[in-house]
Structures are given as C-alpha cells and as structure tokens.
Amino acid sequence: MKQQHSPVYVKRSILPSFNVNSIQSKATLLLIALVLLTLASYLLVFYSTNQLARHHTWTEIARRNELSVQQMVYWTEKVAAGETQLNKKLEQETIAFQNRLDILKYGGEVYITQKRLKVPPIKGEAQNKLSEVEILWNNYKKQIDVLITQEATVPAIDSSYNELGIIEYSIRKVPNRERQAAIVYIRDNSFNLLKQSAELSDILAASYYDTKSRTTQNLIIAFLIYVGLFIITYIQFKNTLINPIRRIAEAAERLAQGDVNIHLRIKQKDEVGQLAQSINTLSSNLHKTAEFADKIGHYQFDIHFEARSEKDLLGKALLEMRDNLKRIDEEAKLREWHNRGIAIFNELSRMEFKEIEEFGYRVVYELIRYLDIVHGAFYVVEEETTGRRHIRMAACYAYDRRRFDDVHFEIEEGIIGQVVYEKDKVILRDLPEGYLQISSGLGESNPKMLLAVPLKTEQAVFGVLELASFREFQAHEIAFVEEVAETVAMSIASVQIAEQTRKLLKEAQETAQQMRAQEEEMRQNMEELAATQEALAKREKEQREVIERLRNEYESRLESIYKREKHLKNQLQEAQQEMQTLRVKVAELERQRDELRRVIHQLRQDDKLARQALKVKDEEIAELKAKIEEMKKKKG
C-alpha cells in the first residue's frame, strides 16, 4: 500500500520579503525618504506659492480699486462739466469697483497676470479696513448714481400777474440741486475714498511682503533641512557603500595585477559584504589555482584540483591544460621510445649480413627484447626457378632461445599467406588452444594476441613479421612494428638488388669467357682451313678454279668472321665498361639508399617523398637490369 502524503500549502506573502541589510532595501528606504522629503518640499513650496499668489492677488485688486477711484474722480468731474458721453464709462467703472470689493469680501475668481485665479475673502485687519471702505463706497456710489441718472437742470414753474391781473405761469430751467449736492459730496469724499483704498492696498501689500518673508524663511529652513539630511545620507552612504566599494575596487585592481594575497575585512551583511566575501573567496581560489599551475609547471600532474562549479572556466581550463600536458608528456615519452627503437633498427639495417636468416634473427631478437614479448618469427617470400612463389620461415625466436624450425607456407595459406596476399597486417586476440601451432608455426604456446605485419614496399611484399605476446599490443607498438617492417622490407629489397647485381656480373663474366672460347675455336677453324687449302692445291688442275672460288669464299667469310670477332671484342670492352659503370652506380645507389634511410628517419612525416625517391632509384635499377638483359640478348 502506497503511503499518501497530504498536500503542503506554503503561505506566501503578497508583499516581497524586505531585508534591511540589503543595499536594495537601504536604497529603497533612502529613495522613500528622498521622495517624502521632496514631496514635503513640494507641498511647502506649493502652499507658499498659493499664499503669495493669494496675497499678491488681493494687493493687485486693491491697487486696481485705488486706480479706479482716481479714474472715477476724473470722469465725475468731466460728467459734472457736462460731458454726458462718459456716463457709460463711469457706470462701468463703478460696477468694476463694486465687483472687486465683492471679491475681496466674499472671494471668487479673478483674471490677473493672464491667469484666472480663485481667491478667498480677506481676513483680519484688511477685512476691517474693507468694511470702512465699503461704508464709504456705498454712499459714494449712490451719489455717482445720482450724477449719472439725473439731469444737470430741472424745469421750474414761475407765476406772475400780467397787466390784466391774471396769473401767468412760465417754465424755466434751473440747476438740479440734488445732482449738485451729489457732485459736492463726491468732491468732498473722493479723497477719503482714495485714502481708504490706498490704506487697504497698503495693508494687503504689507501682508503680502510679510507672507513672502515668512515663505522665504520657511523655504530656507526646508532647504537647510534638506541639505542636512542629504549630507547625513551621503556620509552614511559613503561609509556603508562608497568606502567599501573603493576598497573592493583596490582589491580588484590588485587581483588584476596578479596579487592574490588579499583579504578584505568588511563585516557588512549586505551585497557589499557579500561582494567582499566573494573577493576573498576569489583570492583564495586564485591562490590555490596559482599553486596548482606551479605544480603543473614542475610536471606534477597527479596533484588534486577541482573546478569550483560548472561555470569555473579557469578551473576547467587548468584541468584541461593539465590533461593536455600530461598527454603531451606521455606522447613525448612514446616518441622518444619510438625514435630510440627506430634508431636501433636503422643501425641494424646498415649492417652487412651474409645470410638472410641471420638478418631475420637479429630483427626478431631486437623486436622481442624491445617490445618485451616472448614469441617472434621472420618469414621471407621466395621464388623458385619455375616461377612458383612460397613463404619460408627464415628465423624464429621463442622463450628466450633461438629456434630452427623448417616451416613453409603457400601464398594465401594460413595467417602468414593471408598477410602476404592482402599486403596488410592481421591482429588476432584471445587465440584458442592450438590455433597458433596450426596457423603460425610458433609452437604449442597459447598467447593472448598475435600480430602479423607484412614486410612490404610500394612495389612488392618481401616477407612477414609475426609477433605474439601474452598481453595486448598497444596502438603505438603496432605503429612501431609497421615502421620497422617497412625499414626491414627496404633492407631486404636492397639485399635482393645487390644479389641480382652480383648474378648479373657473374653472367656477364661467363658470357665473356664463352666469347673467348668461341674466338679460340674460330682460330682453330682458320688453321684447319689453311691445311685444307694446302691439300686442295695438290689436287688436280681442273679443280683449281673451284678451289680458288672456294678459297675466295672462305676468305670473305674469314674477313666477316674477323670483323665479327673485332665487333664482339668491342662489345665486350663496352660491356666491361658498362659493368664498371653499373658497379659505380650500384655503389652510388647504395650510398643514396643509406642517405635516404637517414633522411627517412629524420623526416618521418615526409616518408611519402622518400618512398617516391626510392621508387625512382628502383626504376633506375630496373632500367639497368633491362639494359643488361638487352646486352645479353645482343651478345647471344
């Protein structure tokens, strides 16, 4: 029965976690403080600006009323003088004056300085002065209304008795006393109204400048508080962020210059402290990395070192460098081992051996000793007089002793025949019991691995190297054996070329001996012919003509024989000279072959060019052999 787990519900907060020790939290708090301080400053400036705007508006309204009083006094005098066309302007000015008084008393919107502002009613001392101005203005306004609405003169009815004693009535224009009284009142109170308006304007202006002074003081105090808080914040910011970051930057600069002996003592728990701890960790890791690199520089590749993480590129690069250097060191050791072995077999190939068996034994012996194996055999490909080719074991070495087994294989028979036929190596692993005895002729042992390499050049296969071991052959050992097999094959080719050259020289000498025997035989034939001629001279006379004719014929034949003999002597001399030249060329080719072997050893990577050079030399030798064959045919 499977155990059922109850679901676990993790309570998550809507707001993110707030860590006071982090730079982000400190910066957030600082930002909030700056925002609040800026908001407070903005509100203070906004409030102060509104206060100043309000007092400035009140002052501007009062000043406009003051100017309006002066304008009304001027237009009143003009109207009183009879310019009734100004009544409309005077009426509009009184309405504007009244509206401004209402704004000052009750508040409202006003269009001043190209802005529409809403102002509250005035208070305090200005309000009391406004009441006085308003009382005076109400009477003053009534008189202006009288001046505007009433005519300058009014009709009056006069009565008188005529001569007949009858009462007569007449109408005449008389000055309007009420209007004249209004003009007198206006003239008497215009100064008071102007004075009261000016006092109200002065009171409001004084209030404006007092408010402006208080606002300036408040702004200065707010600015000083803002600067003080900024300085305190900067000092705290410098002590907790700038100075540690400067120390961290200095440490980073020292790290950039290669100094890894760094330890920062910063005990903050924020990101700066974490950064300092990371710098300390980085310094420690770089110190360990430097020690590791120093050990690698002294070829100590087995020292323990691990990358800090998957992203530790330097650690991975050092580990890869250690592995590469270790691999390069192993490859260098293998190259040294390879070159030392090649030098041994090159020296062996330059030695002269009377028999191919002795040469094969030395090759197998050196290979077994150098590769530390226990079995080895050297096979050569031989051609019979009938043209049939077979494979013969020329040398065998097993269990630290030389063996003289007589083993033959046909082409394509067994492993050895397969190697010769396919011209390629054969590798057998985990050989079964008795398999080696049947296939390779190395005895009754059962090695773990068998390696058969053809002794070949680009032209032909000259034999097979067969090696067996109780361990597996390494790749570099197989490559080494293949190169040794190539060197041995070239040595065998050189030996066979030299052997063929000796045979050609021997055949040329035998041909010269035969030519000398033929010359002696011809001389004896000439003597016999002379005796015959003497016998014929004694014959009868009738046969003399026949004998003479025969003698002439014999003489002509003798002359041709002499010419033939002379020509053969010349050919013999030329053949001897050519043989001498061939000996010189063979010696030169052998010297060039040795030189090419040294070049091949020194320039292993250019072995293809060396093989082409040997191919050219082989072609020259083949051409020489062809010339010799042609000479033999001519002499025959």
**For 280-292, how does the pLDDT look when each residue is reduced to its tens digit (9 = 90+)?**
777 777 767 777 7
Q: What is the mean pLDDT of residues 326-344?
A: 80
Contact 146, 154 (CB under 8 A): no
Which residue stretches of 351-411 are H helix?
A: 356-371
Contact 432, 444 (CB under 8 A): no
Which run of H or of E encompasses 403? strand 401-403
Rounded Cα–Cα distance for residues 304 and 4 (Å): 46
pLDDT of residue 11: 40
3-state secondary structure of 465: strand
Instruction: Tell me the per-residue pLDDT of 179-212, one tens digit each, with 9 for 90 and over.
Output: 888 888 888 888 888 888 888 889 888 888 888 8
Q: Predicted confidence band at 13 (pLDDT cuts at 50, 70, 90)?
A: very low
The CATH code belonging to domain 351-473 is 3.30.450.40
Q: Report the DSSP beta bridge partners of residue 392.
A: 380, 408
pLDDT of residue 543: 61
Rounded Cα–Cα distance for residues 549 and 109 (Å): 173
Instruction: Tell me the per-residue pLDDT of 417-471, one tens digit each, with 9 for 90 and over.
Output: 888 888 888 888 776 665 554 334 444 557 778 888 888 877 688 888 888 888 8
53-67, 245-259, 351-365, 609-623: which is most confident: 53-67
Instruction: Tell me the per-residue pLDDT of 388-409, one tens digit each, with 9 for 90 and over.
Output: 778 888 888 775 455 556 677 7
The angle, 0 to 180 degrees and rounded to 10, between the axes of the packed helices 313-350 and 271-297 is 10
Q: Does residue 520 surpass a pLDDT of 50?
A: yes
Q: What is the 3-state secondary structure (H, E, C) of 66-128?
A: HHHHHHHHHHHHHHHCCCHHHHHHHHHHHHHHHHHHHHHHHCEEEEECCEEEEECCCCCHHHH
Measured at the CA of 204, the angle between CA 200 and CA 206, to 5 degrees, comes to: 115
The CATH code belonging to domain 23-152+176-235 is 1.20.1330
Rounded Cα–Cα distance for residues 154 and 175 (Å): 6
Q: Identify how many contiguous H helices and E strands the chain contains and give both numbers.
A: 13, 11
- The amino acid that residue 584 corresponds to is V
Rounded Cα–Cα distance for residues 380 and 383 (Å): 10
Residues 448-461 as b or e (16 or more Cβ within 10 Å = b)? ebbbbbbbbbeebb
Q: Which of 66-80, 117-131, 471-485, 616-630 has the lowest mean pLDDT?
A: 616-630
Share of the chain above pLDDT 70, in %: 76
pLDDT of residue 373: 84
pLDDT of residue 441: 46
Q: Which residue has the tokens 């043209």?
A: 387
Q: What is the mean pLDDT of residues 568-589?
A: 75
pLDDT of residue 330: 75
Backbone torsions φ then ψ of 259, nearest 5 degrees: -85, 115
Domain ranges, ordered by start, for the chain? 23-152+176-235, 261-349, 351-473, 501-537+545-635
Q: What is the mean pLDDT of residues 601-610?
A: 61
Q: Does residue 603 surpass a pLDDT of 70?
A: no
Averaged confidence pLDDT in the chain: 76
